Amino acid sequence: MMFLLLSLMLASCAASPQDLSGKMFNFPQQTKTAHVKLTTSRVTLTSATLCHRSFTDLKRDHALLSMSTQSQSNAFLIFWDNAHKEMEHHVIDQKIEYGWCDYKPNTWHSICTTWDSTSGIAQLWFDGQPSSRRFITTGTISGTTITVLGQEQDVHGGGFDLQQSFVGMMSDVHMWDYTLSACEIQKYMDELNFTPGNVLNWSALEFQIIGRVLIENKQMTCH
């Protein structure tokens, strides 16, 4: 009975939002299991902006954030295609590639993607530089979403592939259910004040860690 109570308490603690300001997730090891499952506050998305910062020295394909629904394994996915040196943006199983990103290893990169379902237009912002505004798809992301950092979902909540796992650090993950203005994105890129995400809010993040993923301070240089 005590054990059950304790387990319940731990489970509820894990689900309560945490302020991760100044922190990062460290994915220190290549596995096909370790990941962070994020709880989003919305289940239906007709527009979206996703921003995050990441740091890695991987020289292979990897997912940066993978959101699936029951019927769409790539409902919203940011993926580095190493063979073609392209940053891929998937929405509702459709994909566009950006071939101009200077995705240097061992460097923090700020990456934002926007998508609007009415026009179907998507845009990538990479380290402050906007892409051309390209058509990806119209439609709606709906149903139960599962959002994962560290692994790429081939099926809803699973189908992970070691060769697509993320190894490195990830921080400042925010998602909005609307497209941010260029000004707001620039503020995010410059680490100035911006409106936190209303779908994923790094300052009030609900998540669950599965396997070896550490929460560490982001500061990595001596001042």
Ligand X SMILES: *[C@@H]1O[C@H](CO)[C@@H](O)[C@H](O)[C@H]1NC(C)=O
Contacts with Ca ion, residue ranges (CB under 5 A): 152, 154
Closest approach of Cβ 154 to Ca ion, in Å? 4
Are 210 and 150 a contacting pair, CB within 8 Å? no
Q: In what order do the strands lie in the sheet with 62-68?
A: 94-98, 86-91, 76-81, 62-68, 146-149, 35-38, 207-210
Does 196 participate in binding ligand X (rule CB under 6 A)?
yes
Q: Which of residues 81 and 154 has its CB atom nearest to Ca ion in the complex?
A: 154
Interaction with ligand X in 14-73: which residues (CB under 6 A)? 19
Instruction: Give the binding range for ligand X (CB under 6 A) out of 69-77, 142-150, 183-191, 194-202.
Output: 194-202
How far is Cα 10 from Cα 4, in angstroms, rounded to an integer?
10
Does 142 participate in binding ligand X (rule CB under 6 A)?
no
Closest CA to 170 of 49, 66, 88: 66
Q: Which of residues 161 and 206 has its CB atom nearest to ligand X in the complex?
A: 206
List Cα–Cα distances, 68 to 44, 106, 179, in angstroms.
12, 28, 20
Does 203 participate in binding ligand X (rule CB under 6 A)?
yes
Q: Which of 204, 209, 210, 218 binds ligand X (CB under 6 A)?
A: 204
Tell me the per-residue interface mask from 1 to 20 with ligand X, x by CB under 6 A, - otherwise: ------------------x-
Exposure string for 96-110, b = 16+ CB within 10 A, e = fewer? bbbeebebeeeebbb
Task: Give residues in contact with ligand X (CB under 6 A).
Answer: 19, 196, 198, 201, 203-204
